[in-house]
Copies of this chain bind each other. A is one copy, B any other.
């Protein structure tokens, strides 16, 4: 986790204090359930709640752990310091450390997912607003980086919206996949702890009980979770790449917002670098790199080995903190993106009218010109535009062979941009349910 690429709410989820608070709640609810079942005395269960408002002393717990070499025992020892040794003696009874650790980790991931989902909703709102704002802003569509046919900037925003909307669904699915808890003992048989304890704790903490666990919650859930984050990150890279292209000097169809005080790298006013989206490109790599180790974590030995643990200590916080930051940064970039419609038109007309050559070709053949002749006619005029920068329509109007087949009005009509935007409303309707 790199502080400069993190935001406090997500960081807070991964702080030791949060972890201990969650451990506490798991243990306290478990005691309640055990008291309900008559397994431990009611008053001992109630006593645990004396610590309800305690802020656990992380340094003290670390101190105890340094001795006991066991994090859960250290916490329980510290808890007893608040609750009273005798009152606390039934806490954790029949449970195994992983019951607490794994359930806690899933709660943290679930909360992280909640933030990511909210982030995504924010991004969607920004994309939607910009899509409608630029619904009719004409811009050349490009395949292979080469001008193809006109489209609109609004369609670009709309397709990012649609992609991120799918990612919202993926994040929700990932959240549901990971929102399980397990309190099932050393090898998952509930030998020393009744399944109803698990049910109660999960119900209180907003989790589903893991239908079958071993010592741990199965790691295919986590693999699916991080895979979803990897897809979201790849979509962020997708949007970032578009903006980086748009901002390059020769294109300059958009630019990341520069605050007044912010300096470019020099005296050159054109030197406004798309550093935010370049940064997002890198952050996407960081999130994506966690997918494979999360998948390698699935094949644990028998009822568990602990190889997954060090991996998750890293990728749990790192992937979620980085993705949260990236989503927020991207939202900000989209929100404030400076769009240059004038440059869009100028770029499209770099070779004036040439992007319409295909329509003219089609019109000629539909007017009865053979395909070979039509191609020859279009190409000889197109080449002039290509070589001299003259206007394609003018050339066509001056070409007797062309005008023999198409009237000036017909030729003119082929340069009507609305031909290309006539279905924008339909597409917006599909994407946003409105247009």
Contacts and interface: CB of A to CB of B under 8 A. Distances in A.
A145 to B, nearest CB: 3
Contacts of A163: 218, 220
Nearest to A360: B267
A155 to B, nearest CB: 7
27 contacts: A5-B313, A69-B261, A69-B262, A70-B263, A141-B186, A141-B215, A141-B302, A143-B214, A143-B305, A147-B249, A148-B215, A159-B218, A166-B177, A189-B421, A211-B427, A212-B427, A220-B235, A237-B298, A237-B299, A245-B302, A266-B361, A268-B355, A268-B358, A268-B382, A269-B379, A286-B293, A289-B293
A17 interface: no
Contacts of A147: 249, 268, 270-271
A293 B354 CA distance: 36
A151 B427 contact: no
A213 to B, nearest CB: 8
Per CB-CB distance, the 5 closest pairs between chain A and chain B, nearest first, are A141-B187, A145-B248, A144-B273, A282-B310, A234-B298
- Identical copies of this chain, number: 4
Interface string A307-322: 1111101100010000
Residue from A144, A146, A159 having most chain B Cβ neighbours under 10 A: A144
A42 interface: no
Given A220-B167, A303-B142, A305-B244, A212 B431 contact: yes
Interface residues of A, number: 144
B299 A267 contact: no
Contacts of A409: none
A386 to B, nearest CB: 5
B307 A281 contact: yes
A320 B318 CA distance: 17
B310 A420 contact: no
Interface string A287-310: 011111101111111111111111
Contact of A307 (B186, B279, B307, B427): B279
A242 B301 CA distance: 7
A221 interface: yes
A301 B299 CA distance: 15
Given A288-B293, A290-B289, A145 B247 contact: yes
A268 B220 CA distance: 31
Interface of A: 2, 4-5, 68-70, 140-151, 155, 158-159, 162-163, 166-167, 170, 173, 177, 185-192, 194-195, 209, 211-215, 218-221, 223-224, 227-228, 230-231, 233-235, 237-238, 240-242, 244-245, 247-251, 261-263, 265-275, 278-279, 281-286, 288-293, 295-311, 313-314, 318, 347, 350-351, 354-355, 357-362, 375, 378-379, 382-383, 386, 419-424, 426-427, 430-431
A413 B38 CA distance: 21
Contacts of A190: 422-423, 426-427
A158 B212 contact: yes
Contacts of A279: 306-307, 309-310
A74 to B, nearest CB: 12
Given A249-B146, A299-B237, A301-B245, A162 B211 contact: yes
A247 B189 contact: no
B142 A354 contact: no
Given A275-B306, A421-B189, A357 B267 contact: yes
Contacts of A275: 144, 306
A216 B196 CA distance: 51
Given A187-B148, A224-B231, A420-B189, A238 B298 contact: yes
Nearest to A276: B306
Contacts of A68: 263
A73 to B, nearest CB: 9
Contact of A227 (B271, B291, B361): B291
Contacts of A310: 2, 5, 279, 282-283, 286
A310 B155 CA distance: 27
